[in-house]
Amino acid sequence: MLIYFLKRLLLLIPTLWAIVTLNFFIVQVAPGGPVEQAIAKIELGENSTSLHESAMNKISGNAGIENISLTQTAKNYRGSRGLDDAQIEAIKKQYGFDKPIHIRYVTMLKNYIHFNFGDSLFKGSSVINLIVDRLPVSISLGLWSTLLIYFISIPLGIKKAIKDGSKFDVWSSLVIVIGNAIPGFLFAMLLIVLFAGGSFLDWFPLRGLSSINSENWPLHKRILDYFHHISLPILATVISGFAGLTLLTKNSFLAEMNKQYVVTARSKGLTENKILYGHIFRNAMLIIIAGFPGTFIAMFFTGSILIEVIFSLNGLGLLGYEATLQRDYPVIFGTLFIFTLLGLLIKIISDLTYAWVDPRITFEKSE
């Protein structure tokens, strides 16, 4: 087991490198980068004074150029017909694009080894501070959603296994199919229309996880306010996530019910409840318990991004979405690195959990 664990840890390095490298070069060659956006803002007159002064200061301070003419044309960037080459170079230097792409790539790798993700290009803060500030929101949404999915799916899956083929099994399967077919973001918009001031009821707030000035409220009111805000996002996440675990629970219990030790237990005169919860439950739940880390990380990464955007929750999903729209490269690559690292670590923990809950599972090669 120790050798397997060390091998998996060593595989983290090339996996992280491959993912970061691939995404770095894909994003770099994509149009609409921060330099092009800055040029477009100048052309449209947005923040032109501050950007122009910043560019002129860098030019005059570093190159000693004065009275720059605006009649020349910068050919490397679209939408830059009103700026000359010197101004374009100043803007590129301001955003760190004055160096060749391979130099920027090597510099990024060196910094990432020391977990130095740089500063955001537009938010005025370091990437690590932005991640630390947004991480509790995403963890909160992912954790509550995962716990609720388990509390719903396990009893429902057990009930379906006991009543396999009955009307209850058929109707509950229909509900599961419908829930699995509805994307989480679509259900979130439906909840907003129905319960968050849309066309019908106005029972729940639409944005954030707390009310205005709630920091001055008593603790119990702040807790209630928190759950009042997070109810709809959690429900939208759960509706599309409980189907798979319910079916896994049902199939796991059905597989155990057909094994010889269950027949032996019945022949000894044990009650069905004693057989179910004294023998079957312990064995059937092994794979479900061991899969908890993987389920949580799936909710944390894939399930929360669109939900955070729709409900305006300041989590990592919304941070990554905003960074993508703004082409905030340090934030994009920093969140990608953290997501990938956490995902790989959780996957290792999930594999080790399987071996921990069931000693029969081993990752060593048989002789």
Whether 176 is covered by a domain: the verdict is: yes
Mean pLDDT, contiguous 10-residue spans, the chain (367 residues): 77 88 83 74 57 45 36 42 69 77 88 87 87 86 86 91 90 87 83 82 83 85 89 85 85 88 85 84 78 70 74 84 84 85 80 69 53
CA distance 187 to 182: 7
Same domain, 149 and 285: yes
Same domain, 45 and 76: yes
Same domain, 231 and 260: yes
Q: Say what the pLDDT of residue 171 is.
A: 92
pTM over 0.95: no
Q: Say what the pLDDT of residue 61 is.
A: 44
Cβ contact 142:300 at 8 Å: yes
Q: Say what the pLDDT of residue 168 is.
A: 92
**Beta bridge partners of residue 307, listed in sequence order:** none
Same domain, 104 and 188: no
Same domain, 155 and 131: yes
Q: Say what the pLDDT of residue 357 is.
A: 64
- Residue 141: closest CA among 326, 338, 307, 359: 307
Q: Say what the pLDDT of residue 139 is.
A: 83
Domain extent, residue 255, equals 127-357
Cα distances from 310 to residues 110, 191, 203, 302, 336, in angstroms, run: 36, 11, 17, 14, 21
The single residue listed with the structure tokens 């009821």 is 201
- Residue 355: closest CA among 363, 347, 365, 344: 363
Same domain, 99 and 234: no
The set of residues, in sequence order, having a beta carbon less than 8 Å from that of 129 and lying 6+ positions away, is none
Give the number of other Cβ atoms within 10 Å of residue 261's Cβ. Answer: 12
Q: Give how far the C-alpha of residue 164 lies from the chain's centroid of Cα atoms, to the nearest Å.
A: 36
Whether 106 is covered by a domain: the verdict is: yes
Q: Say what the pLDDT of residue 71 is.
A: 32
Cβ contact 241:182 at 8 Å: no
Same domain, 107 and 203: no
Cβ contact 5:362 at 8 Å: no
CA distance 256 to 158: 12
Same domain, 322 and 200: yes
Same domain, 311 and 336: yes
CA distance 37 to 106: 25
Same domain, 312 and 352: yes
45: left (phi over 0), alpha (psi -120 to 50) or beta: left
Cβ contact 242:153 at 8 Å: yes
